[in-house]
Amino acid sequence: MNIEFWFDYASTYSYPAAMRIESVAADNNVSIVWRPFLLGAVFNKQGMNDSPFNVYPAKGEYMWKDMARICSDSNLPFSRPKTFPQHGLLAARVTTRFSDAPWIPKFVRLVYSANFEHNQDISSPSVIEPCLSAVGADVSLVMREAVTEEAKLMLREQTEEAISRGIFGAPSFYVGSELFWGNDRLERAIKWAVEANI
Amino acid sequence: MNIEFWFDYASTYSYPAAMRIESVAADNNVSIVWRPFLLGAVFNKQGMNDSPFNVYPAKGEYMWKDMARICSDSNLPFSRPKTFPQHGLLAARVTTRFSDAPWIPKFVRLVYSANFEHNQDISSPSVIEPCLSAVGADVSLVMREAVTEEAKLMLREQTEEAISRGIFGAPSFYVGSELFWGNDRLERAIKWAVEANI
């Protein structure tokens, strides 16, 4: 059984989802397919050139309070990033290019912590390299591979796939052909995978 | 302890919230303040002249599937309305004008069932009058009062209050000064009321 986890490193609600998906999935013998994409491109297709949380200030103000409550409720550190949304392109390219590497789950969490706990600039190699080093990856190899045309193309194609499959926000989960949207739907998606034996 | 329930009769996710709020609140000794408003006016302020579920088709397509899952999971009948969004103005005026009447909770549920179970036109007096009759209200009095200038003004002011207090969608819940958005947040809002003893 498996679940596709579609996420964007800048996305606020992807943070709690990323921090807990491994344990929720493991508890149910569901494996995870890590599928980063560029949410900004999805918003562009919808005619927005910024996060809806910035386009609609009331929605944004609520989201930050809701995030603080969610993180507090689940004992997850949270600090509102000075820049929102951050640029997750580099981290997303690394993750797409090495999606099957054993260090990916831990790397994903470290990047989210850098963004939403430590308020670091995740577009900077000086932030991403220590994350790679901490998970035991070959830092120089990964950083070199992440900026190849092949890696760039992989992420573009993955983002196109998200759009063509009807993904409109993050985090999203696909279980077979069934789409679930939002951190709130993680448990329902996992249950779907178990019941449908997908 | 009490919770303000802000809802719109056309709003899909307000339907499951409306159908279960009384029992969830009663289980926790929390009382409900019924606060209908016009979500369309809120969207207008955001620059949209239709529901976001129509403006963004991918979001809309997902919402209908998500609604079907939610209703199925909670044994709630659900039939996608032929018209979306419906015009809830008449029902909202009735509810605003008689918000303290003992028959309001049951009336609210009947109108939501008319919309999302029976696919009836809730803008029509021929649908609203039987709902009033079924809950034992004085039908002719209520229908007369619902279209007075006073009733119209009450609903306009309530909608303005929603906007000024940062409500951007429905259902929303206010517990003291704390805002919660979405059917998914009902339990958290009730818990807040209990813990804060509001």
pLDDT digits (tens, 9 = 90+) for B3-55: 999 999 999 999 999 999 999 999 999 999 999 999 999 999 988 899 999 99
The per-residue pLDDT for A7 is 98
Cβ contact (<8 Å) for B179 and A46? no
- Alpha-carbon distances of A101 from A94, A161, B58, B101, rounded to whole Å: 10, 21, 32, 62
User: Which residues from A are below 8 Å from B171, CB to CB?
Assistant: none
Domain extents in chain B: 2-196
Band (pLDDT 50/70/90 cuts) for residue A46 is confident
Tens of pLDDT, residue by residue over B56-80, are 999 999 999 999 999 999 999 999 9
Across the A/B interface, how many CB contacts are shorter than 8 Å?
39
C-alpha dihedral (B30, B34, B39, B42), degrees to nearest 10: -80
The answer on pLDDT for A197 being more than 90 is no
User: Which residues from A are below 8 Å from B188, CB to CB?
Assistant: 69, 73
Look over chain A and give the mean of its residue pLDDT values, rounded to a whole number.
96
Mean pLDDT over residues A100-112, rounded? 97
Band (pLDDT 50/70/90 cuts) for residue A194 is very high
User: Which residues from A are below 8 Å from B73, CB to CB?
Assistant: 188
- CATH dotted code for A2-196: 3.40.30.10
The per-residue pLDDT for B46 is 87
The per-residue pLDDT for A103 is 98
**For residues A88 and A79, what is the distance between their CA atoms, to the nearest angstrom?**
17
Say how far residue B71 (Cα) sits from the centre of its chain.
Answer: 16
SS (H, E, C) chain A: CEEEEEECCCCCCHHHHHHHHHHHHHHCCCEEEEEECCHHHHHHHCCCCCCHHHHCHHHHHHHHHHHHHHHHHCCCCCCCCCCCCCCCHHHHHHHHHCCCCCCHHHHHHHHHHHHHCCCCCCCCHHHHHHHHHHCCCCHHHHHHHHCCHHHHHHHHHHHHHHHHCCCCCCCEEEECCEEEECHHHHHHHHHHHHHHCC
Which candidate in B13, B45, B46, B173 is best for mutational testing of the A interface (most A CBs within 10 A)?
B46
Rounded to a whole number of angstroms, the distance between the first and last alpha carbons of chain A is: 5
Q: Would an 8 Å CB–CB cutoff place B65 in contact with chain A? A: yes
The answer on pLDDT for B198 being more than 90 is no
B123 an active-site residue? no
Residue percentage of chain A with pLDDT more than 70: 100
Q: Which of residues 70-89 of B touch A (CB under 8 A)?
A: 73
User: Which residues from A are below 8 Å from B59, CB to CB?
Assistant: 168-169
Look over chain B and give the mean of its residue pLDDT values, rounded to a whole number.
96
**For residues A37 and A66, what is the distance between their CA atoms, to the nearest angstrom?**
24
Mean pLDDT over residues B123-143, rounded? 98
Which candidate in B64, B164, B168, B172 is best for mutational testing of the A interface (most A CBs within 10 A)?
B168
Band (pLDDT 50/70/90 cuts) for residue A22 is very high
Nearest to A120 by CA among A108, A110, A106, A134: A110
Cβ contact (<8 Å) for B58 and A188? no
The per-residue pLDDT for B195 is 94
Residue B183 is given by DSSP the state G
The per-residue pLDDT for B194 is 96
The per-residue pLDDT for A73 is 96
User: Which residues from A are below 8 Å from B65, CB to CB?
Assistant: 178-179
- List the single residue in B with minimal CA-CA distance to A170: B59
Band (pLDDT 50/70/90 cuts) for residue A109 is very high
Q: Is the separation of the CB atoms in A19 and A109 below 8 Å?
A: yes
Q: What angle do CA B6, B11, B16 make, to 5 degrees?
A: 80
> What is the Cα gyration radius of chain B?
16
Q: Is the separation of the CB atoms in A159 and A179 below 8 Å?
A: no
Tens of pLDDT, residue by residue over A132-148, are 999 999 999 999 999 99
Cβ contact (<8 Å) for A59 and B179? no
The per-residue pLDDT for B197 is 82
ipTM over the 0.90 cut-off: yes
User: How close does chain A come to B62, measured CA to CA in Å?
Assistant: 7
Cβ contact (<8 Å) for B61 and A184? no
